[in-house]
C-alpha cells in the first residue's frame, strides 16, 4: 500500500498561489508541504508569527519552494484583509484559499461560558466566512478567471457530536457555506469543496480532544473499520487534487476521508462486528428455525 506516498505528478500546482490558514502546524502544515512540492507558492497564516517563520525555514529547505508567513487571527476581518494585501504584494495574485484554521476542545456543553462557545464559533465559522468573503470579493472585483476554496470540516458537521457542540455547530455552518457558494459563485469561476477527515493524529487536536490518558482509554483506531488512523500524506493528496485543475468539475462536494468511521458509528448493527465467526452457524440456524412459525 502506498498511501503514504505523494500522488500527483510533479508540477501539478505550478504557478499557483495558495493561502493556508493555520498552515504552521498539524494538517495545515502537511498540506502546505505537499502544495510546495507540487510547485505552488504558499502563504501560511496563524496567530503565532514566530512559529510560522520557523516553519517557513523548515519547509523551504525541504521543498525548494517559497513560503510567505503572515500573522493573522482569522476572527479579525482587518487582519484577513491584510493577508490578501500581503499575498498580492508578494506574488501579484492568489489562486486558492484553504480554510483549515480551527479551535476546539471537549467539554460538557453546560460547563461552557458564552465566551467559550463564541470562541470556537468565531474561529471556525466566522474565520472561514472572513477569509472567504475577503478573498471572494477580490476575485469577483478583479474578474479573475478561476479560483478555488477548500474548507476543512469534520464528519460531525452533518451528524452533530456530543461534547464538541460549538465545533459541530460551526463546522455545520462551514459545510452550508461551502455548498451554497459553490452554486452562487460558480458564475465567477470560484469553486468550493470541503474535506471531512476522520481521525488524523496531530498535537493540536489530540491535546484538546484526548487529553491525558484518554488517548489510551479511547483508542481511535478501534473506531475505524479499516483499522488505522489517517496518514497526513493521504489527506494532502486529496487536498492537492481538490486545489488543482484536475478537479475542475468537482464543485460543492464534501469528501469524507475516514476509513468509514462515521458510518460505523451510524450503522445500527455495527456492533455485530464483535460476534466471533464460529457463532454465525448457530445464529443462522436459530434464525432459520423460526421460519413459518
Segment interacting with ligand HXC (CB under 6 A) among 12-20, 105-113, 134-142, 234-242: 105-113
CB nearer to ligand HXC: give 147 or 220: 220
156 is catalytic: yes
Segment interacting with ligand HXC (CB under 6 A) among 135-143, 197-205, 224-232, 242-250: 197-205
* Cα→Cα distances 251→100, 179, 188, Å: 18, 8, 13
| Nearest to 232, CA basis, from 184, 196, 264, 200 | 200
| Nearest to 97, CA basis, from 69, 135, 125 | 135
Which candidate in 156, 188, 241, 249 is catalytic?
156
Segment interacting with ligand NAP (CB under 6 A) among 70-78, 157-165, 237-245, 265-273: 70-78
Contact 254, 194 (CB under 8 A): yes
CB nearer to ligand HXC: give 2 or 115: 115
| Nearest to 177, CA basis, from 131, 129, 138 | 129
Query: Shortest gap between Cβ of 227 and ligand HXC (angstroms)?
Result: 17
Instruction: Answer yes or no whether residue 28 interacts with ligand HXC by CB under 6 A.
Output: no
Query: Shortest gap between Cβ of 287 and ligand NAP (angstroms)?
Result: 39
Instruction: Provide DSSP, 79-110.
Output: HHHHHHHHHHHHHS---EEEE---------GG
Cα within 13 Å of Cα(7), Cβ side: 17
Task: List the single partner that 51 binds among ligand NAP, ligand HXC, none, CB under 5 to 8 Å by kind.
Answer: ligand NAP
3-class SS at 256? strand
Helix axes 127-141, 77-91, angle to 10 degrees: 40
Instruction: Answer yes or no whether residue 103 interacts with ligand NAP by CB under 6 A.
Output: yes
- Restricted to residues 44-63, the positions that interact with ligand NAP (CB under 6 A) are 46-48, 51
Would you tell me which residues interact with ligand HXC (CB under 6 A)? 102-105, 107, 111-113, 115-116, 119, 154, 167, 199, 204-205, 208-209
Active site residues: 156
Amino acid at each position: 500500500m502506498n498511501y503514504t506516498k505523494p500522488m500527483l505528478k510533479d508540477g501539478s500546482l505550478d504557478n499557483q498561489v495558495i493561502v493556508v490558514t493555520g498552515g504552521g502546524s498539524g494538517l495545515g502544515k502537511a498540506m502546505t508541504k505537499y502544495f510546495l512540492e507540487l510547485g505552488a507558492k504558499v502563504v501560511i497564516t496563524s496567530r503565532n508569527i514566530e512559529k510560522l517563520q520557523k516553519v517557513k525555514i523548515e519547509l523551504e529547505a525541504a521543498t525548494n519552494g517559497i513560503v510567505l508567513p503572515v500573522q493573522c487571527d482569522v476572527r479579525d476581518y482587518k487582519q484577513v484583509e491584510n493577508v490578501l494585501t500581503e499575498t498580492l504584494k508578494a506574488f501579484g495574485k492568489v489562486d486558492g484559499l484553504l480554510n483549515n484554521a480551527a479551535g476546539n476542545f471537549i467539554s460538557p456543553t453546560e460547563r461552557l461560558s458564552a465566551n467559550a462557545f463564541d470562541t470556537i464559533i468565531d474561529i471556525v465559522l466566522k474565520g472561514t466566512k472572513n477569509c472567504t468573503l475577503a478573498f471572494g470579493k477580490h476575485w469577483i472585483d478583479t474578474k479573475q478567471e478561476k479560483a478555488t476554496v477548500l474548507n476543512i470540516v469534520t464528519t460531525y458537521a452533518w451528524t452533530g457530536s456530543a461534547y464538541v457542540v460549538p465545533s459541530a455547530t460551526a463546522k455545520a455552518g462551514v459545510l452550508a457555506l461551502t455548498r451554497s457558494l459553490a452554486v452562487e459563485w460558480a458564475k465567477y469561476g470560484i469553486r468550493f469543496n470541503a474535506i471531512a477527515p476522520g481521525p488524523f493524529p496531530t498535537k493540536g487536536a489530540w491535546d484538546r480532544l484526548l487529553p491525558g490518558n484518554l488517548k489510551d482509554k479511547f483508542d481511535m483506531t478501534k473506531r475505524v473499520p479499516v483499522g488505522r488512523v489517517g496518514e497526513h500524506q493521504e489527506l494532502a493528496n486529496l487536498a492537492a487534487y481538490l486545489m488543482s485543475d484536475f478537479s475542475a468539475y468537482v464543485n460543492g462536494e464534501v469528501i469524507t476521508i475516514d476509513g468509514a468511521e462515521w458510518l460505523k458509528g451510524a450503522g445500527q448493527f455495527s456492533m455485530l462486528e464483535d460476534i466471533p465467526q464460529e457463532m454465525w452457524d448457530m445464529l443462522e440456524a436459530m434464525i432459520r428455525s423460526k421460519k413459518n412459525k
